[in-house]
Amino acid sequence: MSQTVFGVDIGGTTVKIGLFDTAGELLEKWEIPTRTENKGAEILPDVAKSIQEKMKERGLERNDVAGVGIGVPGPVDGEGIVHRAVNLGWGEFSVKEELSGILKMPVMAGNDANVAALGEMWKGGAQGYSNVVLVTLGTGVGGGILINGHILSGSTGAGGEIGHIHIEDHETENCGCGNKGCLEQYASATGITRIANRILKESTDPSLLRDGEVSAKTVFDAVKQNDALAIRVAKEFGRYLGDGLAAIACVVNPEVFCIGGGVSKAGPVLLDYIRPSFLEHVFHGSRGTGFVLATLGNDAGIYGAARLLLDN
């Protein structure tokens, strides 16, 4: 039986790669640049080369490696076919077959947010659960949904695109996706900053946020110091996110929401602002849904990618 597995997380600027034992212990991790030139044609060959070099360096034979799991920043369906990954320049093709063709070993591919959810379930904040929604609050709002331990990819790989749930009818600015009033416009790091700047402008109240940079971090730092204006920002953020999560719970009824991404570094205080609106609007059958914080940070993707391969 193979004793190791590679987990790969492709980002817009770097590719993270981890070598794991099959029990999920991270043996080593490293990064290579993501070469997006030439429509990203070099990305998978670069990944393959890096894996082959690592195998050589460690004296790993083909039989020592179960295979490679890979997370991609774009919709990936259940067959491992990516349907456009804009940041990489990729159109539609089978990531699974292309990488497997080079490496001559099993490959499984998934959307990066979905794969990160697997990672948090396996070795992170959502351990012990199998029906999980990972909510990644970063530059945008990403989602990864696990049903009975398996990724919900959706019919065209667009499952778990929870950042684009329409949540506000009165928005005038466009979301990055082109729509108006998406959850991501209020609950991402960018969204929190936007809410804060709007409230700072509307109000003349004093606030710690008036001294220096306004960001999701400075907002929640100020919340922890009982800054009234920052608390208004946090409440507005929490109302939108709590509402969105209540809608998600009505659809998939998870055991737990696992909150990750840069914004989640604010810690448990975040949940204090999400829960009230969630409880106000969720169906009673889902009131018991738990909330946990993600713990793997940027490594969730490589953990989850490794697990994706091992699951299949």
Q: Which of residues 112-151 bind a copy of itself (CB under 8 A)?
A: 131, 143, 145, 147-148
Residues 240-269 that bind a copy of itself (CB under 8 A): 243, 246-255
| Residue 175: DSSP 8-state | P
- Under the criterion CB under 8 A, does residue 2 sit at the interface with a copy of itself? no
Closest distance to a copy of itself from the beta carbon of 160 (Å): 7
Site membership for a copy of itself, residue 181 (CB under 8 A) = yes
Question: CA 162, CA 188: separation in Å to the nearest integer?
Answer: 12
Rounded (5°) CA angle 50-152-253: 135
Decide: 121 and 130 in contact? Cβ < 8 Å.
yes
Nearer Cβ to a copy of itself (13/155): 155
Pick between residue 103 and residue 134 the one whose CB is nearest to a copy of itself: 134
> How far apart are CB 163 and a copy of itself at their closest, in Å?
8
Q: How far is the CB of 134 from a copy of itself (least distance, A)?
A: 13
Q: By CB under 8 A, which span of 8-16, 18-26, 204-212, 281-289 interacts with a copy of itself?
A: 281-289
User: Among residue numbers 68 through 97, which ones bind a copy of itself (CB under 8 A)?
Assistant: 75, 78, 83
Q: With both helix axes pointing from N to C terminus, report the angle between 112-123 and 300-311 in degrees, rounded to the nearest 10.
A: 90
- Here the tokens at position 93 are 């093709």
Tell which one of 69, 71, 159, 301 touches a copy of itself (CB under 8 A): 159
Q: What is the DSSP string of 209-272?
A: GGSS---HHHHHHHHHTT-HHHHHHHHHHHHHHHHHHHHHHHHH--SEEEEESGGGGG-THHHH
Judge contact between 10 and 72, C-beta under 8 A. Answer: yes
Query: What length is written for the chain?
Result: 312
Residues that bind a copy of itself (CB under 8 A): 75, 78, 83, 131, 143, 145, 147-148, 152-162, 164-166, 177-179, 181, 243, 246-255, 280-286, 288-289
